[in-house]
């Protein structure tokens, strides 16, 4: 597992535990003594983990939202859903691997599943463009949303992107129009829509699949109009001051909840979702199921009204 700098002492302890467990698996004669050492070190690791994560600064939490081992949509698709069937292409230009979209079984019902996908390996990262979608990715998402609406299926989206891809080809194919159209379509869907920020929620690339009746956010995720580095490069012409910009952007989950941008912060297991993906997925499953059950009690007009009022209320103050 990859680790951030502040996690180094914990990783060292975990490596010692793993080495001792390898000895017991090999049938070492002093197995009882080794088991005692393992139990002692595991208790130390739990205490250290709680200590390390008890008071993280904003920039460290930004790094956690980008952790290379953090669960991505494909991981959640395996942990949350059954019988996931992915659909490809926007029927206009091509398929965009940065956006995954399809249908799956969630509990007893079929739902649409749409979200960003970052890559694990260097090759996969390049193929998926680090989760930065092109226009055809958002048009594919819209295609699946419309199919879901026709079938009366709820739409579940998962946000994890630094932003939409700003390259020349994307701009030539109408990136801004594709994002705007996705926002328009989501605002008019007559089925329940739940969006979850599972990692980075950056700029219009995130909002394009984030216009929902309920917006959830994992504890160590971030949600902002721009990346801290992008903000710093605009304000001070120095992207290395991203940590300073992060302090001002109010991009953490608790900030978003206080501002009314999201509806619920979903707790992550100690050490973050990347350490215990199954535990994180279970907490997310329970939150989605609860909100989906509440939204199923609303008719189409009530869903539209609630979604409209939710977003109209953002940015108002007294």
Q: For residue range 113-161, what is the model confidence (pLDDT) as tens digits?
A: 999 999 999 999 999 999 999 999 999 999 999 999 999 999 999 999 9
Q: Are both 36 and 123 inside the same structural domain?
A: no
Residue 206 near residue 159 (C-beta atoms within 8 A): yes
Q: For residue range 62-83, what is the model confidence (pLDDT) as tens digits?
A: 999 999 999 999 999 999 999 9
Model confidence at 28, pLDDT cuts 50, 70, 90, reads: low
Residue 317 lies in a domain: no
Residue 90 lies in a domain: yes
Q: What is the pTM of this model?
A: 0.90
Tokens of 146: 């419309």
Q: Are both 151 and 106 inside the same structural domain?
A: yes
Residue 274 lies in a domain: yes
Tokens of 202: 């950056």
Tokens of 133: 């979608």
Q: For residue range 202-248, what is the model confidence (pLDDT) as tens digits?
A: 889 999 999 999 999 999 999 999 999 999 999 999 999 999 999 99
Q: Are both 79 and 218 inside the same structural domain?
A: yes
Return d(Cα 92, Cα 173) in angstroms, integer: 10
Q: 38: number of CA atoms within 13 Å, CB side?
A: 15
Q: Are both 166 and 231 inside the same structural domain?
A: yes
Residue 71 near residue 268 (C-beta atoms within 8 A): no
Contacts of 225 (CB under 8 A, 6+ apart): 203, 249
Domain extent for 190: 62-312
Residue-level pLDDT at 5: 81
Residue 318 lies in a domain: no
Is residue 313 over pLDDT 70?
A: yes
Q: Are both 13 and 90 inside the same structural domain?
A: no
Number of domain units in the chain: 2
**107: region left, alpha or beta (phi > 0 left; psi from -120 to 50 alpha):** left
Return d(Cα 134, Cα 119) in angstroms, integer: 15
Residue-level pLDDT at 34: 77
Is residue 32 over pLDDT 90?
A: no
Residue-level pLDDT at 148: 97
Return d(Cα 170, Cα 165) in angstroms, integer: 7
Return d(Cα 258, Cα 181) in angstroms, integer: 29
The CATH number linked to 207 is 3.90.226.10
């Amino acid at each position: 597992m990859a680790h951030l700098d502040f996690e180094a002492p914990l990783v060292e302890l975990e490596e010692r535990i793993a080495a001792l467990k390898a000895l017991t698996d090999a049938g070492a004669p002093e197995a009882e003594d080794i088991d005692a050492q393992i139990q002692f070190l595991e208790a130390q690791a739990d205490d250290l983990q709680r200590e390390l994560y008890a008071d993280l600064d904003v920039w460290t939490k930004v790094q956690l939202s980008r952790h290379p081992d953090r669960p991505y949509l494909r991981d959640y698709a395996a942990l949350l859903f059954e019988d996931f069937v992915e659909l490809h292409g926007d029927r206009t230009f091509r398929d965009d691997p940065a956006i995954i979209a399809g249908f799956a079984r969630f509990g007893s019902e079929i739902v649409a599943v749409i979200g960003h996908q970052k890559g694990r390996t260097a090759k996969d990262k390049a193929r998926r463009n680090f989760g930065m979608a092109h226009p055809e990715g958002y048009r594919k998402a819209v295609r699946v949303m419309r199919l879901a609406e026709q079938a009366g299926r709820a739409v579940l989206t998962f946000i994890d992107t630094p932003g939409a891809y700003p390259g020349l080809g994307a701009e030539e194919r109408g990136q801004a129009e594709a994002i705007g159209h996705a926002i328009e379509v989501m605002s008019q869907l007559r089925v329940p829509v739940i969006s979850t920020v599972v990692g980075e929620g950056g700029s219009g690339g995130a909002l394009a699949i984030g216009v929902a009746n309920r917006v959830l956010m994992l504890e160590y995720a971030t949600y902002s109009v721009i990346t801290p580095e992008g903000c710093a490069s605009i304000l001070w012409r120095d992207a290395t001051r991203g940590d300073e910009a992060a302090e001002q952007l109010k991009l953490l989950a608790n900030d978003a909840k206080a501002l009314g941008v999201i509806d619920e912060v979903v707790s992550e297991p100690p050490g973050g979702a990347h350490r215990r993906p199954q535990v994180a997925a279970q907490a997310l499953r329970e939150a989605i199921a609860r909100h989906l059950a509440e939204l199923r009690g609303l008719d189409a007009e009530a869903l539209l009204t609630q979604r409209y009022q939710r977003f109209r209320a953002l940015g108002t103050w007294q």
